[in-house]
């Protein structure tokens, strides 16, 4: 590695990366570039993938096909969980039980019940678990966020997300590909932009006649937030022509006027009278890098990251509530989602004799404390 000498006086943290697919490799590059981090092991159920990813980067580290074994054999100050969503709970749980803090790719888990379980475990053990929501961190969204604050806070926020990827593979076959695999990004961005938490949603998902997906790849949803603001989402993953950016195309109305963001670097603001102003977008840490900085800062004893599990669970609950609303045709309250998910997790904790998890869940009828 050759970086040890440069950081002799600083804290050096050993990192175990779990999952060496496309995103795992992106995270390995982030680790490689970050002073103060040292790769300790790479884990993948396919060890040839893990070995190849390590070798490509010149990492002389052991590889494992099992996270528990890796944590027994290799030193670890933090673990990056970059496995497929279905493996997130087991990998994060193993690390927390080994007292190793976890930064996980989104979604924290496939279901709110699983996320409640992990949140309770993390709280009971005092071991940090956070989700990286990379689209929450960009120069563009920061400028838009500032604009909304300048205008007195948005009460009406809309985004249009229209893209046309030909993925092939699991997204073409899964139910609700747009809501389950993509919309969590825009839902999480809305929580950040409104500075409030979602309370309820009405959603319809559907399949345009030309869609190449088996599941519904288009949706319209209206969320109500606890401060009274509304967030409208219109999205499609099968929209050829005039596509928006991958962050979506945003517009907000606030007491002092309106602002727009194209999801990239164009942020505009206009008050009742006066010119349209193009706001400066100041480059800063973005995406995975910014999520990692928040996480390391929390390990240093500073503020909890924005993706800390008990907060991030609300973005996941927005997805689950939107899917349920679409299936039932009714507005869905997020408290009802948390109550049901909490009951599932609590029953599992009782059945497994997991008293410390059961104790936390019993205290949280309406979801983890904000």
Ligand X SMILES: NC(=O)c1ccc[n+]([C@@H]2O[C@H](COP(=O)([O-])OP(=O)(O)OC[C@H]3O[C@@H](n4cnc5c(N)ncnc54)[C@H](O)[C@@H]3O)[C@@H](O)[C@H]2O)c1
Q: Which residues contact ligand X (rule: CB under 6 A)?
A: 18-24, 43-46, 49, 67, 82-85, 87, 91, 105-106, 134
Smallest gap from Cβ 147 to ligand X, in A, equals 24
Name the residue nearer to ligand X (CB basis): 167 or 206: 167
Smallest gap from Cβ 158 to ligand X, in A, equals 22
Name the residue nearer to ligand X (CB basis): 94 or 325: 94
Name the residue nearer to ligand X (CB basis): 52 or 343: 52
Smallest gap from Cβ 50 to ligand X, in A, equals 8
Question: Could you tell me the end-to-end alpha-carbon distance of the chain, in angstroms, rounded to an integer?
Answer: 41
Name the residue nearer to ligand X (CB basis): 72 or 302: 72
Nearest CA to 358 out of 368, 345, 341 is that of: 345
The secondary structure of 199-261 as a DSSP string is EEEEEEEE--TT---SS--EEEEEEEETTS-EEEEEEESS--SS---TT-EEEEEETTEEEEE
Name the residue nearer to ligand X (CB basis): 318 or 358: 318
Q: Alpha-carbon distance 159 to 128, whole Å?
A: 32
Nearest CA to 233 out of 156, 131, 133 is that of: 156
Name the residue nearer to ligand X (CB basis): 21 or 232: 21
Nearest CA to 62 out of 3, 1, 16, 23 is that of: 16
Q: Alpha-carbon distance 298 to 334, whole Å?
A: 28
- Residue closest to ligand X when measured from CB atoms: 21
Q: What token pair was written down for 249? A: 């195309």
Smallest gap from Cβ 49 to ligand X, in A, equals 5
Q: Alpha-carbon distance 36 to 3, whole Å?
A: 8
Between the alpha carbon of residue 37 and those of residues 15, 116, 118, 126, 341, the distances in Å are: 7, 30, 25, 22, 36
Name the residue nearer to ligand X (CB basis): 117 or 225: 117
Smallest gap from Cβ 54 to ligand X, in A, equals 13
Q: What does the angle CA 185 – CA 190 – CA 195 come to, to the nearest 5 degrees?
A: 135
Smallest gap from Cβ 205 to ligand X, in A, equals 19
Smallest gap from Cβ 242 to ligand X, in A, equals 23
Residue 23 sits at φ, ψ, to 5 deg, of: -75, -35
Q: Alpha-carbon distance 185 to 188, whole Å?
A: 5
Smallest gap from Cβ 176 to ligand X, in A, equals 14
Name the residue nearer to ligand X (CB basis): 48 or 226: 48
Q: Alpha-carbon distance 116 to 130, whole Å?
A: 13
Name the residue nearer to ligand X (CB basis): 17 or 238: 17
Which residue stretches of 98-138 are H helix? 112-125
Smallest gap from Cβ 152 to ligand X, in A, equals 31
């Amino acid at each position: 590695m050759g970086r040890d000498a440069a950081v002799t006086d600083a804290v050096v943290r050993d990192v175990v990366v779990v999952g060496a697919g496309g995103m795992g490799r992106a995270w390995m590059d982030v680790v490689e570039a970050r002073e103060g981090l040292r790769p300790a092991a790479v884990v993948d159920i396919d060890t040839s993938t893990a070995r190849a990813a390590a070798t490509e980067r010149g990492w002389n580290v052991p590889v494992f096909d099992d996270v528990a074994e890796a944590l027994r054999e290799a030193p670890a100050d933090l673990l990056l969980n970059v496995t497929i969503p279905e493996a997130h709970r087991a990998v994060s749980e193993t690390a927390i039980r080994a007292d190793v803090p976890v930064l996980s790719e989104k979604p924290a888990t496939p279901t709110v019940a699983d996320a409640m379980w992990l949140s309770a475990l993390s709280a009971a053990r005092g071991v940090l678990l956070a989700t990286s929501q990379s689209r929450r961190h960009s120069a563009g969204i920061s400028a838009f966020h500032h604009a909304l604050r300048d205008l007195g806070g948005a009460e009406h926020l809309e985004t249009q997300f229209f893209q046309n990827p030909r993925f092939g593979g699991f997204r073409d076959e899964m139910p609700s590909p747009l809501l389950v695999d993509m919309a969590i990004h825009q839902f999480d961005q809305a929580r950040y932009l409104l500075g409030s938490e979602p309370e309820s949603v009405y959603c319809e998902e559907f399949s345009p006649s030309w869609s190449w997906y088996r599941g519904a790849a288009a949706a319209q949803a209206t969320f109500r937030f606890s401060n009274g603001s509304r967030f409208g989402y219109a999205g499609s993953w099968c929209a050829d022509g005039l596509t928006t950016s991958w962050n979506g195309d945003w517009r907000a109305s606030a007491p002092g006027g309106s602002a727009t963001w194209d999801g990239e670097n164009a942020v505009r603001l206009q008050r009742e009278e006066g010119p349209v102003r193009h706001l400066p977008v100041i480059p800063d840490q973005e995406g995975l890098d910014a999520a990692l900085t928040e996480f390391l800062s929390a390990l240093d004893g500073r503020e909890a990251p924005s993706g800390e599990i008990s907060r991030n669970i609300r973005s996941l609950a927005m997805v689950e509530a939107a899917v349920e609303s679409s299936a039932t045709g009714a507005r869905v309250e997020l408290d009802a989602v948390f109550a049901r998910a909490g009951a599932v997790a609590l029953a599992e904790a009782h059945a497994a004799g997991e008293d410390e998890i059961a104790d936390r869940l019993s205290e949280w009828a309406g979801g983890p404390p904000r």
